């Protein structure tokens, strides 16, 4: 499989580091490395801002760290954006928007089992970015179709560049907004969402997947045409494991699960250790095994990661670094226990 399983390690990309060298070293410490996003270093590195580069209508205020949208500006800039639609470089991330992406692209990563990139997904982007009337652009029938095409091109150009470094490169589409999609949202129901995501993913080259830390409709998400799903099982494991039928269908289609188990927030991290996290994971896997998902099969299609991103710890990157180290140790311990070395 292009995406490895066997409890190898990766992580989500948003990190609290302000030293790009340190962040990159931490990312490279995992089996499947990625290029870090560093919003504490620069607002350009906010995941929504990175995704917004060259998007017509965007109003970016670096001083006040705000990202808005203007329909008048969109209409003025749309023609120019469309003129660049067949130019892959137009959709790539420029050095101004990432301190490490282009350094990552210069590395020799051919010996890694895989490498990974990421971009904010269209649902979350459309929910987060509001227009001049404080309305999410996801609800605009003029902007939304363009946004789906634009974001798909951004994902594809990054994946193409990563595959030049490692043929097993894959992408996370970060979609934290999926957990809010059907809660008190008017004018955008599950039928529309499924149609839009089906269209979006149909344009993205494989391997492709979704990462989110929240608790969405798992039947909905597991039913998407994805190759990998990354989630916070430290918080949502009990709920997630109750969707055994959908999980089995996802795995049978060749899907890979990334089990986010090591907390990165200071207080929950201090309350856990290697043994407690191992116990929590094995209990989840035993529960799924009891529901007919063979554990050996499941682990062959599973990776491990920290549970979430975290930018708010009082010790900044120190707990996050510890969580990365813990996930490496947990992977080694479980791979030995289940003969996956």
Residue 182: predicted pLDDT: 63
Residue 292: predicted pLDDT: 95
Residues of the chain with pLDDT under 50: none
Q: Are 194 and 123 in contact (CB under 8 A)?
A: no
Residue 5 DSSP symbol: -
Place of tokens 């652009």: 137
From the list 25, 29, 30, 47, the residue with the least C-alpha distance to 38 is 47
* Other Cβ atoms closer than 10 A to 314: 7
Quickly list DSSP for 210-264: EEESS---HHHHHTSS-SEEEEEHHHHHHHHHT-HHHHHHHHHTT-EEEEEEE--
**What are the structural domains, with CATH classification, of the chain?**
8-337 (3.20.20)
Residue 26: predicted pLDDT: 97
Residue 172 DSSP symbol: E
Residue 189: predicted pLDDT: 73
Residue 194: predicted pLDDT: 85
Q: What contacts 186, CB < 8 A, 6 or more positions away? A: none
Q: Are 130 and 68 in contact (CB under 8 A)?
A: yes
Look up residue 229 and give its two tokens.
């799903």
Residue 183: predicted pLDDT: 62
Quickly list DSSP for 42-75: -GGGSHHHHHHTT-TTEEEETTTTEEEE-HHHHH
**Planar angle of CA 168, 250, 47, nearest 5 degrees:** 55
Rounded to 10 degrees, the C-alpha dihedral 175/180/182/186 comes to -110
Residue 190: predicted pLDDT: 74
Look up residue 25 and give its two tokens.
């070293």
Look up residue 192 and give its two tokens.
């529309």
Look up residue 112 and give its two tokens.
């890694």
Residue 11: predicted pLDDT: 96
């Amino acid at each position: 499989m292009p995406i490895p399983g066997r409890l190898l390690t990766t992580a989500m990309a948003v990190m609290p580091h302000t030293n790009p060298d340190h962040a990159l070293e931490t990312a490279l410490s995992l089996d499947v490395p990625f290029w870090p996003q560093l919003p504490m270093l620069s607002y350009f590195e906010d995941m929504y801002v990175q995704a917004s580069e060259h998007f017509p209508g965007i109003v970016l205020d670096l001083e006040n760290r705000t990202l808005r949208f203007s329909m008048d500006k969109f209409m003025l800039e749309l023609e120019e954006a469309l003129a660049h639609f067949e130019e892959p470089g137009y959709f790539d991330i420029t050095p101004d928007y990432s301190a490490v992406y282009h350094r990552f692209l210069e590395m020799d990563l051919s010996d890694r089992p895989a490498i990974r990139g990421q971009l904010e997904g269209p649902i979350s982007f459309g929910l987060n970015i509001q227009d001049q009337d404080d309305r999410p652009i996801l609800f605009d029938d003029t902007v939304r179709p363009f946004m789906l095409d634009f974001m798909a091109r951004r994902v594809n150009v990054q994946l193409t560049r990563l595959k030049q470094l490692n043929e097993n490169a894959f992408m996370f589409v970060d979609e934290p907004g999926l957990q809010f999609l059907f809660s008190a949202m008017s004018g955008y129901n599950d039928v529309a969402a499924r149609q839009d995501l089906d269209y979006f993913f149909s344009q993205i080259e494989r391997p492709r997947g979704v990462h989110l830390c929240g608790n969405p409709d798992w039947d909905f998400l597991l039913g998407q045409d994805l190759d990998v799903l990354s989630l916070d099982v430290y918080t949502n494991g009990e709920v997630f494991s109750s969707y055994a039928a959908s999980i089995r269908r996802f795995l049978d289609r060749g899907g890979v699960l990334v089990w986010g188990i090591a907390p990165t927030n200071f207080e929950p991290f201090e309350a856990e250790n290697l043994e407690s996290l191992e116990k929590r994971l094995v209990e989840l896997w035993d529960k799924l095994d009891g529901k007919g998902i063979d554990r050996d099969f499941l682990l062959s299609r599973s990776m491990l990661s920290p549970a979430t991103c975290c930018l708010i710890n009082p010790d900044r990157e120190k707990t996050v670094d510890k969580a990365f180290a813990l996930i490496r140790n947990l992977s080694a311990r479980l791979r030995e226990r289940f003969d996956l070395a």
